[in-house]
Amino acid sequence: MKTLFLSDIHLGSPLFKDKEFILSLLNDISFDIIILLGDIIDSWEDDVDSIIKNNVDIINTINKKNVLYLMGNHEPNINIVKKIFPNIDVYKDNIYLGMNVVCTHGHQFDNRLRSTIISKLTFYMYWIIERIVKIDIRPYFRELFSIAFHRDKDYYEDLVLDVEKRAVRKFKNDYKSVIMGHTHIPKIATVDNFLYVNCGDWSHSNSYVILNNDIFQLYTKKDGLVDMDKL
């Protein structure tokens, strides 16, 4: 079975400009299944109705394919996602591929997002400020809650490494590999015989992962298959 993994497309973000390439991947008939690992719909960047209107071709294509959809932290609530994608299976937490591979978005391992109560209170404040006070505070939310927004900071690698280590510790005793997104850093690395795989994103790295014959391969739009020795 040949599987395509995509993560962090961020439909609605002005940084996403690869619609034709994403459509070509989604329409590739060689894939038996496509797994979307979160932050496909970015409701932090634009309202959902505008996202649907501006990306109807991608949304329609996803609905016609054999797709598993995993929720990310930039997604609207799961009921909205199910209405946008009525023909596919939408998962709130993890997706398990047999006993060897677990799929997750990765925000669960980001310390800045771990307080559910604080996150809910913050988003209520966000809703009130944006809709009642009429002030767009999305840039400030990106600064607070998006790990990718910190990529130019000196401490960025430490942020990413902390998320990766937490994910490996969570799953290494029960699975052989984890595949995720969230950090926007494409990577395949082995830690104590456990395989960590990250799809990257479509704001900066423009990358994706293919699982074929039990082998994960990382690709970028620019370079094609990535030489693992360079990671």
Residue 28 CB neighbour total at 10 angstroms: 13
Higher model confidence: residue 55 or residue 133? 55
- Please report where in the chains the tokens 């994960």 appear, as a residue: 216
pLDDT at 160: 57
Q: What is the pLDDT of residues 81-138, one digit of tens each?
A: 999 999 999 999 999 998 899 999 998 888 765 444 455 455 555 555 555 655 554 5
Q: What is residue 159's predicted lDDT score, i.e. its pLDDT?
A: 42
Task: Give the max Cα distance, the chain.
Answer: 54
Instruction: Tell me what the pLDDT averaged over the chain comes to.
Output: 83
**Number of domains the chain contains:** 1
Q: Express each pLDDT in 11-27 by its tens digit.
A: 998 889 899 999 999 99
Beta bridge partners of 36: 6, 69
CB 6 within 8 A of CB 22: yes
pTM of the model: 0.81
The reported pLDDT for the residue numbered 229 is 52
Q: Which structural domain range is residue 33 located in?
A: 2-230
Residue 158 in this model has a pLDDT that exceeds 60: no
Higher pLDDT, 55 or 213: 55
Residue 50 in tokens? 């505008």
Half-sphere exposure of 189 (CA within 13 A, CB side): 13
Could you give the CA distance from residue 31 to residue 121 in angstroms, rounded to a whole number? 41
Query: Which pair of structure tokens corresponds to residue 21?
Result: 């390439």
CATH number at residue 120: 3.60.21.10
| Alpha-carbon span 173 to 123, nearest angstrom | 35
Beta carbons of 94 and 102 less than 8 angstroms apart: yes
